Structure 1
Amino acid sequence: MPENEEILRRWLKVLNSYGFIKEEANGFTALLKITEHFFETIWSQMEELWNGKLCNKLANEYLLKNIKALSELFSGEINPTHILFPEGKFDYAEALYKDTFIFQYLNTKIAQKIKEFLDATEHIEILELGAGTGATTDNVLPLIKERKNVIYYFSDISYVFLREAQHKYSEFRNIKYMTLNVNNLDLGKKVDIIIANGVLNNAKNIKYTLDKMLEITSEKGKIFIIEQVEESLEMLVSQVFMMKDSSALEEKGGKTFRNTEEWLRLLRDDRIEKIEVFPEKYNIDQRLFILYHK
C-alpha cells in the first residue's frame, strides 16, 4: 500500500544502521542471510530471556504473529487491529500495555504520585484520556474505591472500550464514562488530574491537544503523560501500521517517535510550573512526564 511506503523507508534505515543491509547507488544489498532455522533459534533465545521478565508469553506471541504477517500488513491484506484484538479480545493489548516490565513500572509510578495528591486534597476529579483497555486505570481505581470525594472520568473515542470498562469496573460507584476525542477536546469543565497514556503521539495536532489539556486542568493540578521516546523495533513490526499520519511523521523527521528532549520542548508552557520525567535515564524507551500546573 502506498501509505506504508514511509514505514518501509524507516525499516530500511534501521536495517542499514544495524548492518543487515548496505545502501548502494541503486538500492540496498543484503549482508546477512536469515533462514527460517536461524530465525527460530534466535526467537527461542529471545523468549527465554524475555518471558516472565520483560514481558509475558502473550506479548511475544503477538509480536511473532505480526512478524509472520508482515507482507500482508504492508500490502494491506491484513488489518493490524485484527491481530491486536483477535475476535474482539483484549488479551494481547493488556499483555503489551499492562503486563510488560516498563508499563508495570510507569503505571505504578502514576498511582504513587496520585496517592500523594489524594492524601493532600479534599475533593479530586480525575480524567483519563484514551483509557482503552484500562491498563493504567487498573492501577489507579483501587486508590479511590472507598473515597467519596473522588470522581474518575474514564474516556475514550471507542464505544467498545467504554462498554468493556463499564462491565469491568461495575463495582466502582465513583467512576463516570464519556466519549472524548483528543483532537476535539471539549470537556466543559476543569479537572484536577489528567492521565494520557500513549495519547499525544497519535493526536493530529499535539500543541492543540496539550493546550486544551492545560486549559481544563485546575490550578495546582497535574497531567500525567506516557509516551514512547525511541524508535522501537517491536513497534515497527506491529502498532506502527496503525499510526499513519504522514504530516506528523514529517514533523518528527520521518521518525515514528520523538525523543525525550523533543517531548520536553513540546511540553514546556508558561502555565506549567515544572516537569518531572521518569525514569530519569536508563535504556528504556518509554517515559512518564508529569506536568505540574501553576
Structure 2
Amino acid sequence: MNTALNELEQLSLGVMAQVLLHTQALPLQVWRNAEQVNQALGTAARHAWVVRRWLVALGGAGLLREAGERVAWRTPPPDPQLGELPRLYGALGFPASMARLHTQVIECLPDLLRDQFTLTHLLMLGGDPVKVLSAYQHNHFTATINQALADRARQISAADGQLRVLELGGGAGGTTDAVLAALQACEKDYRFTDISSLFTGAAHRQFRLETGMQFGLLDLNRSFSGQGILPGTQDLVIAGNALHNARDLPYSLGQIRSSLRDGGALLFSESIADNPAMLTFMHLLLSPAADAPLRPHDEAFMAADAWDLALQATGFELLEVWPRACEPLAAAGQRLFHAIGV
C-alpha cells in the first residue's frame, strides 16, 4: 500500500507540474512568486492557497528551486500517466469510482481553480454526493483508523450506565459504522451530527434502526449549548476527519470540552500534513465559499505536536497519537488522537 501511495503522490506532483507548465503559469526558465503564478493561471482568490501549497509540495520534492519568494523549475517531472490511477486506487482499497472521478478532476483542474465551475458541481454530476464522499473515505488506511477509534470507544466508561456519545461532522458515516459496531452491546445515547442535512438525512436512513440513535444538525463554529448540547453531558465526543473544518479551533475545542463531563473522552482522526494527491482533488472542497472570508493561512492540517498544544490550551490531556511515526501505517499522514477532559 505504501508503494502505491508513493506512486500516487509522485503522479500527483506531475499533475501539478503539468498544469503550471501547460497554462504557462510557471514556464521553464522563468522565476515567479506565488502571487504571479496565481495571476498567470487566473486562479480564483478562494483557491489561491491551493496553488501556493502546490509550490510548497513541488519544492519539497526537489522539483523547484527558490530565490527569496520566487521559484523556478529545477527539473520538472515527466507528464503524469493518468492510466495508472485505477491500479493505484485499487491497491489502496478505494472503489473504482474514485480513480474515474480523480481523472475527471485532473482534466478540469485549470477551470476548477479559476472557479469556472466547482468541485461540488462535479461531484453532483457523479451521482449521490453522499455515496461519492463515502467512496472517498472507503480505503484501507481510513478503515484501519476508524477501527482503532472504535476499539478505543469501546473502552470508554459511562458516568451513569448509559454512554452518551456525540459525533461531530459525521459525514457519510464511515466512522459511525465502525463505532456503532464496537458499541453494539452497550447501552448508549448516540447523537450523530453534521452541518448538512444531506448527511444527517442519509445517516438517519442508514442507522435509524440502531438503538439509542439521534440525528441533528450541529455547526462546529457555534455555541454547542445553543444547539442543544448541554455542558457536561457527554461521556465521549467523536470526530472523524472533521475538526480541520473549524474556523476558530480554540473556540471549537472549547465547546467540545464544555460538552464533556470531567474525564470524558475525545476521539478524533485527522490528517497531519498535505497529501499531494488530495491537493489535486478533494482539497478544493476546503476552499471557502466565494462570498466567505478567505482562509487566514494556507495549511489545512496541523502536525501532531500542534494538536497537543491546542488540546492542552482548551482543557484536555492528550493520551495517545496513533500510529506512531515509525509505524508503516503512518505514511498515509492520518492519525488518531485520544484525549480526555481534565
Amino acid at match of 2:263: K
The answer for the alignment partner of 1:199 in structure 2 is 242
Q: Tell me which of 127, 151, 168 is aligned to 2:189.
A: 151
Q: Say whether the 8 Å CA contact 1:16–1:22 is kept in structure 2.
A: yes
Does residue 209 in structure 1 map to residue 248 in structure 2? Answer: no
Amino acid at match of 2:248: N
The answer for the alignment partner of 1:243 in structure 2 is 286
The answer for the alignment partner of 1:113 in structure 2 is 152
Give the drift of 1:118.
5.5
Does residue 135 in structure 1 map to residue 174 in structure 2? Answer: yes
Give the drift of 1:277.
0.6
The answer for the alignment partner of 1:93 in structure 2 is 133
* Cα displacement string for residues 242-282 of structure 1 (whole angstroms, at most 9, x for unaligned residues): 223576552xxx32321111121111247334421111223
* Cα displacement string for residues 54-87 of structure 1 (whole angstroms, at most 9, x for unaligned residues): 5332333332222111111101022112334433
Amino acid at match of 2:145: L
Change (3 A) 1:230 1:27: closer
Change (3 A) 1:274 1:242: closer
Q: Say whether the 8 Å CA contact 1:145–1:174 is kept in structure 2.
A: no
Give the drift of 1:139.
0.7
Give the drift of 1:192.
0.5
Does residue 258 in structure 1 map to residue 302 in structure 2? Answer: yes
Q: Say whether the 8 Å CA contact 1:222–1:290 is kept in structure 2.
A: yes
When structure 1 is superposed on structure 2, of 51-60 and 187-196 the one drifting more is 51-60
Q: Say whether the 8 Å CA contact 2:250–2:314 is kept in structure 1.
A: no
Give the drift of 1:22.
4.2
Does residue 188 in structure 1 map to residue 230 in structure 2? Answer: yes
Mapping of residues 26-37 of structure 1, within 5 Å: 28-29=72-73, 31-32=75-76, 34-35=78-79
When structure 1 is superposed on structure 2, of 270-279 and 107-116 the one drifting more is 270-279
Give the drift of 1:12.
2.0
Tell me, in whole angstroms, the C-alpha distance in 2 between the residues paired with 1:120 and 1:44: 54
Q: Say whether the 8 Å CA contact 2:158–2:164 is kept in structure 1.
A: no
The answer for the alignment partner of 1:227 in structure 2 is 270
Does residue 293 in structure 1 map to residue 341 in structure 2? Answer: yes
Tell me, in whole angstroms, the C-alpha distance in 2 between the residues paired with 1:274 and 1:11: 32
When structure 1 is superposed on structure 2, of 2-11 and 155-164 the one drifting more is 2-11
Tell me, in whole angstroms, the C-alpha distance in 2 between the residues paired with 1:258 and 1:119: 31
CA RMSD of aligned residues (A): 2.6
How many residue pairs get aligned? The number is: 284
Does residue 77 in structure 1 map to residue 116 in structure 2? Answer: yes
Amino acid at match of 1:235: M
Q: Which runs of 5+ in 2 are unaligned?
A: 1-43
Tell me, in whole angstroms, the C-alpha distance in 1 between the residues paired with 2:316 and 2:145: 21
- SS of 1:83's equivalent in the other structure is helix
- SS of 2:174's equivalent in the other structure is coil
Tell me, in whole angstroms, the C-alpha distance in 1 between the residues paired with 2:160 and 2:181: 17
**Paired-residue identity, %:** 21
Change (3 A) 1:171 1:273: same
Amino acid at match of 2:127: E
The answer for the alignment partner of 1:164 in structure 2 is 202
TM-score by length of 1: 0.86
TM-score by length of 2: 0.75
The answer for the alignment partner of 2:322 in structure 1 is 278
Change (3 A) 1:83 1:203: same
Does residue 20 in structure 1 map to residue 68 in structure 2? Answer: no
* Cα displacement string for residues 193-215 of structure 1 (whole angstroms, at most 9, x for unaligned residues): 00012222111100000011011
* Cα displacement string for residues 19-68 of structure 1 (whole angstroms, at most 9, x for unaligned residues): 43445687634733644xxx33xx44454344144533233333222211
